[in-house]
Structure 1
Amino acid sequence: MLRARRIASIVVVAALGLGGLAACRSEPSVAAYLGDRKVTEDQVTQIFDGAGAGASATPAATPAAEQPGAEPASGPKVSRQQVVDLEVTLDLGRKVAAEQGVQPVETVSAEQVAAGLGVPAESQYAKDYAEWVNLSQAIFAKIGTNVPAVTEDQLRGVYNALVKVDAIEAGFDLAKIKQAFGNGEFVSAAYQLTGLLEKAATASDATVNPRYLPLAAPMVVSSQQGAVFYDLPYLEGSDTVSDRA
């Protein structure tokens, strides 16, 4: 468990904000409309089943000793909500990457992601998650280090998401959060990416079934204990939602 130690490096951190996009299209069999593409409930079920999952909370921290290619841990790891989170985020990430003129670089493989999440390496969930990480890395590289100063709300947002998966001790005041996160540059970059994702969502007329709101972006951060996987709900309205199926 992380305490007041500084988080060393970031694999990918991103928040997804899609407030107000769930009003127009509402077929019960569709989880999300992404431009001219639909993510159907049947597709969600297929990815969910392929991950060997049952309804669960967000995956917790990955043990540092776990190696890429290791057998997934037993028990449920992924929820249907997380499948929708990933599929919407990935679609928007592809659009952002195209707009930014960047190509993904393979910083992680599906096997590495699968080992961390405890899902089969051949699952579509592992493959899509790895693609999202690699896309995000390319976008962050394009953004560079010229990001706005991090705000207190942004620091607390990432901190609370880490607390939810027991990746960092609860009860930190702002001073301790700053100590753990250093200059918080990775948090600020995350929120800059949020803006790009929101812009892509609006441009593509993305609509999400209300049962899957609020959405969250899948994320992984490196720590002294290994990779930590968690979900960060989109900012608007997140204070009113405590549990997601």
Structure 2
Amino acid sequence: MTLIGRTHDRGVATLTLDSPANRNALSAALVGELADALADCGKDGDVRAVLITHTGTTFCAGADLRDPPHPDALVGLLRQIVDLPKPVVARVTGHVRAGGLGLLGACDIAAASDTATFAFTEVRIGVTPAVISLTLLPRTDPRALARHYLTGERFDAAEAARIGLITAAGDDADAVLEPVLDGLRRSSPQALAETKRLLTAKVLQTFDRDAAELTALSARMFASSDAREGMTAFLERRDPPWVL
């Protein structure tokens, strides 16, 4: 079964996360398919930009707890988005949790509808948002990120735009993106590639400096007793024992 839909319209390749059974969670299979699709877009001279969107009411529920990707694979996917020589745009009309927020941080532009909600839920299941910090720490307001990382509370699209997690929010994500995609179609492919290189230089420096350490932290946390209990509680739809 294909987990990533692919369409093309006037230079924009649309990649659709299409894994409704697990709310588009980042399974090993989905991460692999998305990486392959992005690689194809990078080599296709007819692709001016990439739009990542989703089916259903959830953009991405974070890591698939039953079939999680290896941390190295997730790091590779996030870096691939940042390093792709073509702009990558996210269209969000549903909920985004945990690792899904790392995808938004990797994209160059992200727009969400007002119905979208966001949450860094890692601390509530006994882990930490380690790997996704590679894209989020360089681009997101640090004081706001501290609150949302530490509490796991849910926030809306207006707050996501305020803190720099997304570019813009509105009643209709497609209406927000219409001038964006028009602008990309009017731009020189060479100029887009070099301008993106300018914009992502500091993010890529973060990968070079911190990827190994954060990958090791992620692996250690997922192997911990708190994580085992937290993930079990999540799958059993109950509170873990540390909830007061």
Pick the TM interval, shorter chain. Answer: under 0.3
- TM-score, with length taken from structure 2: 0.27
Alignment TM-score, normalising by the size of structure 1: 0.27
